[in-house]
Amino acid sequence: MTKVRVHELAKVLDTNSKELIALLGEYGYVIKNHMSILEDDQLDIIFEVFTQRYDKAVEIPNFGKVQAPAQEEAPKKKASGNKEKKAAEQAEKNKEVQEPAEEQAPISDEPIKRKVRHVDTRQTVVDINKLDTEKLEELVPTNVSHDGVNKQKLKKGANRHRDNNVQATKVKPQPAKEQKVKQEKKKVLIPNEISVGEFASRMGVSPTEVIKKLMALGIMAAISQTIEFDVASLIAEDMGAEVEHEIILTDEEILFGDEEDKPEDLETRSPVVVVMGHVDHGKTSLLDAIRSTNVTSTEAGGITQHIGAHRVRIHDKKITFLDTPGHEAFTAMRARGAMATDIAILVVAADDGVMPQTIEAINHAKAAEVSIIVAINKIDKEGANPDRIKQDLMEHGLVPEEWGGDTICVEVSAKQKLNIEGLLEMVLLVAEMRELKANPNRMARGIVIESRLDKGRGPVATVLVQNGTLKVGDIVIAGTAIGHVRAMLDDKGKKIKKAGPSVPVEITGLSETPDGGDQFYVIDDERRGKNVVEQRKHQQKEERIKATTAVTLDDLFDRIKEGQMKDLNIIVKADVQGSVEAVRQSLEKLSNDEVRVKVIHGGVGAIRESDVMLAFASNAIIVGFNVRPDAGAASSAERQGVDIRTYRVIYTAIEEIEAAMKGMLEPTYKEEVTGHAEIRQTFRVSGVGTIAGCYVQDGSISRNTQVRIVRDGIVVHEGKLASLKRFKDDVKEVNSGYECGLGIENYNDIKEGDIVEGFKMVEVAK
């Protein structure tokens, strides 16, 4: 007989794998998952149950027809089942009728026990009126004055020291008048903490009186200091007031207080899938193949790529794919606590194997607790070896199902579009087993996938709805952005009015662009929402101010030693992109147990003022490779204490930062810029070379200084002056505001507009 898996039989019987697994569980069979192979006796049980259910023969591929048992047996079983059911219901009803009598009969003092069990007897919620009028008169002898009763009660509640000098004045009891006064007791709301002045105001007494009471308790507090609820409630009761606990909620708690959905409100939602893997293993090709098989030619490309997410349909079910998968974006979202995806498709090339980025992707997916499906791509290529891939995956904890594990491996070819549908079916199968559900009938919340600033439409955000339904006109808050949803586009670029769970949409109408990974919420109170946004902005500003202590390489080791620094943030600027990446990788490899080197930004071109601002805000050092800071950046860095280090050789940069990290930085010389001159005209002189006619902009240019030629912020040459003249005379120095002619040793490629920067190396005292 052919081997049959659970999910294959479930498909034939028009049911789901979970039902079959549960059915066999009732008969004592433990089925591991939907890919398990069914034994003959297990098949017999399933066939018998389903043929009885449908009361007819069932056509099973590879098994032929399975006939139902005799027609007489089924009705009997059904009838007897109904009788048993009715008998059980009747017994249950009888039990319900008898139970109250049984509970009450045995113990005579049961009502008292129940009362004690249900009443909250904390001091702050005791009904003092009821206690005083009904209980005290019964319990306290008539010869005891009411003042004495009060004194006893206060002593018990507050653990006051006995004052032997004060005698209680005996007053004849006046029950009727006392009761009337007590009914008019003042009610006071007290939060967890309250200032002495505010408490006095709520009590309607002077702050001095409250301070006296606190002193009696041994607490010294000024009018502006806060006291806790227990202390305040004690004093309030002593002053004859009733206390109620005031719970103060923040605006965020009021707006985003997320109540749990009832099970009956939940509905099945589409799975959200991210595609991960090593570079050139076919992630993009696979997404294109999935998209092209599920969208029409008019919808392919364009806005679909541009929105960052798309949906595909298979067997009347939909799957949402995120187009911005890279593990860095995935990590950024996870770092903000946003679990955006349910399933990760790990793409591995059959001819290449498991690579470093593949391992990173596996670790990120495991950390995010998402299901992993391995797509072994490029099976059509020569040298493809899927078994070797599976062997490699086992070393990283992913055991294929056919080898006894629980990781689904699907062999596909994105280029030839082979087995793409099989891959999507596996996605649906995993989604079915995970029972993904959400409540569409509530205010929406979800996650921002990406955002950008559009010239025509303003801030545009791509969001994924995770729960509820997002509608046009809703007030949305995401990070420090707030606004009404003006328009919504789906992944096909069509305008829509609403979007339910697992639906990605592009929205406009926000006040600014939120960050990718920010949670978004639909709110019903715009004024309160604006307060939340202002609070968040204020908090961000305070965090930036806290991190304004500038870092320099010279004091780096001391800061590490004191435990003040764990991360060394670096901004890299270079003349070409290749250099940026080379410097970035080289510096990040310097990380050790005590300090982690993080390149927070890398770019091409001169060091600008914006780079200095970023370094100031993030406590970073700027490393320039073959570039110079412009005038604004240099002055801003000096003013804010930002350390800018420029290098011509990458190894010098590495050695210097490594030395700083190890506390061995011993700077002997420091570069000092002496002046700048702009080349305004060039002259070709035979036998001499190219001479530059210059205007000194600032500082001075000296004959014996070193110079560098800076073109558009990039250093093109570094060397020495061959000559320096004023008119026809050789001079030693030319100051700012004067013109001069100069030549550079062994270099003639100078152009109008170039800047000649003079500098000298000055010895620094150790």
**Domain 553-667: homologous superfamily in CATH:** Translation initiation factor IF- 2, domain 3 (3.40.50.10050)
Residue 176 has pLDDT above 60, yes or no: no
How many angstroms separate the CA atoms of 106 and 335, rounded?
60
Indicate left, alpha or beta for 440 from its phi (over 0: left) and psi (-120 to 50: alpha): alpha
The helix (H) or strand (E) run that includes residue 635 is helix 631-640
Residues 498-505, mean pLDDT to the nearest whole number: 90
Task: Convert the pLDDT of each residue in 222-245 to its tens digit.
Answer: 888 888 888 888 898 888 888 888
Residues 524-537, mean pLDDT to the nearest whole number: 85
Closest to 736 measured CA to CA, from 647, 646, 671, 674: 674
How many angstroms separate the CA atoms of 82 and 571, rounded?
77
Residue 483 has pLDDT above 70, yes or no: yes
What Cα–Cα distance (Å) separates residue 599 from each residue in 60, 80, 105, 333, 589?
61, 75, 77, 19, 11
More confident residue, 246 or 412: 412
pLDDT interval class at 753 (50, 70, 90): very high
Instruction: Give yes or no for a contact between 371 and 398, defined as CB atoms under 8 angstroms apart.
Output: no
Residues 618-646, mean pLDDT to the nearest whole number: 88
Backbone angles phi, psi at 24, to 5 degrees: -70, -30
Give the amino acid at 711: R
In this structure, of 252-256, 586-590, 613-617, the range with the lowest mean pLDDT score is 252-256
Task: Convert the pLDDT of each residue in 318-352 to its tens digit.
Answer: 888 876 544 444 445 544 444 678 888 888 888 77
Task: Convert the pLDDT of each residue in 95-108 to its tens digit.
Answer: 444 444 334 434 44
Read off the tokens for 705. Answer: 């200084």
Could you say which DSSP state residue 644 is in?
Answer: E
670-763 has the same fold as 445-545: yes
Domain ranges of the chain: 6-66, 124-160+180-245, 270-296+315-332+341-428, 445-545, 553-667, 670-763
What Cα–Cα distance (Å) separates residue 414 from each residue in 76, 80, 458, 657?
56, 57, 37, 45
pLDDT value for 568: 81
Could you say which DSSP state residue 405 is in?
Answer: S
Residues 662-678, mean pLDDT to the nearest whole number: 77
In this structure, of 432-446, 447-461, 542-556, 604-618, the range with the lowest mean pLDDT score is 542-556
How many angstroms separate the CA atoms of 464 and 272, rounded?
9
Closest to 631 measured CA to CA, from 609, 657, 614: 609
Task: Convert the pLDDT of each residue in 38-69 to its tens digit.
Answer: 888 888 888 888 877 765 555 555 555 555 54
Which stretches of 249-377 are assigned E, i.e. beta strand? 267-268, 272-277, 309-314, 317-322, 343-349, 371-377
Residues 369-386, mean pLDDT to the nearest whole number: 82
Contacts of 550 (CB under 8 A, 6+ apart): 616, 619, 640, 641, 642, 643
Highest mean pLDDT: which range of 130-144, 357-371, 451-465? 451-465
Assign domain 270-296+315-332+341-428 to its CATH architecture.
3-Layer(aba) Sandwich (3.40)
Contacts of 408 (CB under 8 A, 6+ apart): 35, 373, 374, 400, 401, 426, 429, 430
Residue 30 has pLDDT above 50, yes or no: yes
Fold annotation for 445-545? Elongation Factor Tu (Ef-tu); domain 3 (2.40.30)
Helices (H), 299-397: 303-307, 327-335, 356-367, 386-394
How many angstroms separate the CA atoms of 553 and 541, rounded?
26
- The predicted model scores a pTM of 0.47
Is residue 431 packed enough to be buried (19+ CB in 10 Å), middle (13-18) or exposed (0-12)? buried
Residue 271 has pLDDT above 60, yes or no: yes
Could you say which DSSP state residue 123 is in?
Answer: G
Beta pairing partners, 744: 721, 747
pLDDT value for 334: 46
Assign domain 670-763 to its CATH architecture.
Beta Barrel (2.40)
pLDDT value for 711: 92
Task: Convert the pLDDT of each residue in 7-19 to its tens digit.
Answer: 888 888 888 888 8
Q: Are strands 317-322 and 309-314 parallel, antiparallel or unpaired?
A: antiparallel
Residue 668 has pLDDT above 80, yes or no: no
Is residue 315 packed enough to be buried (19+ CB in 10 Å), middle (13-18) or exposed (0-12)? exposed
Residue 168 has pLDDT above 50, yes or no: no
Name the percent of the chain lying above pLDDT 90. Answer: 11
pLDDT value for 563: 65
Mean pLDDT of the chain: 75
How many angstroms separate the CA atoms of 229 and 242, rounded?
13
